[in-house]
Amino acid sequence: MSEFLHLWMDRIDTPIGELFIVADHDGNLRATSWTEHEIQMHRMLRLHYRENGFKLEPSRNPNGLTQAISSYFAGEFAAIDTLPVQTAGTPFQREVWRALREIPCGTTVSYAELAGRIGRPTAVRAVGLANGSNPIGVVVPCHRVIGANGSLTGYGGGIERKRWLLEHESKCQRFELQP
């Protein structure tokens, strides 16, 4: 990345803790992080955008992203479905992160199923590592990936948050239009 990136950061109170959101000047969500993981978030930003390749400033509701994510937590699940995201990462990681956004609200997939969905059925461990390094939790729903036996496996925000998010999303209702 050769240019300086101006980033805006806001905080959202959620039922499961305070969440940082980081957005760029074009309105793309670049990162989310639970506030107790602020040090890790800054480390990830430096890794993705270089030590002095970005400037992070506070902002209220940058490009409506804070409100959209708040709406998700209030039960308007579709509010995050089309939020624009922009990530760094390797091409493989970005491929996995795109596939995460295709997992419908209220459903889960295994790591093996996710690997199969991207056409790499033997890359289960690599998919797990990419899932674990997702910089945009909740909106890029890494919490929807579970173990092959249905168990809740690791989540950067903690298993209790993962459990809450999945239970929250179990209320998703997808309506099909009737002819």
pTM for this predicted structure: 0.90
Complete domains list, the chain, with CATH: 5-80 (3.30.160), 91-169 (1.10.10.10)
Q: Which residues have C-beta within 8 Å of that of residue 77, sequence separation ≥ 6?
A: 105, 106, 169, 171, 172
> Does 2 have pLDDT greater than 80?
no
For 10, what's the count of Cα atoms within 13 Å in the CB-facing half-sphere? 19
Model pLDDT for residues 36-61, shown as the tens digit of each residue: 999 999 999 999 999 889 999 999 99
Q: Which residues are catalytic?
A: 142
Model pLDDT for residues 107-151, shown as the tens digit of each residue: 999 999 999 999 999 999 999 999 999 999 999 999 999 998 998
Helical pair 124-132 and 91-100, crossing angle rounded to 10 deg: 80
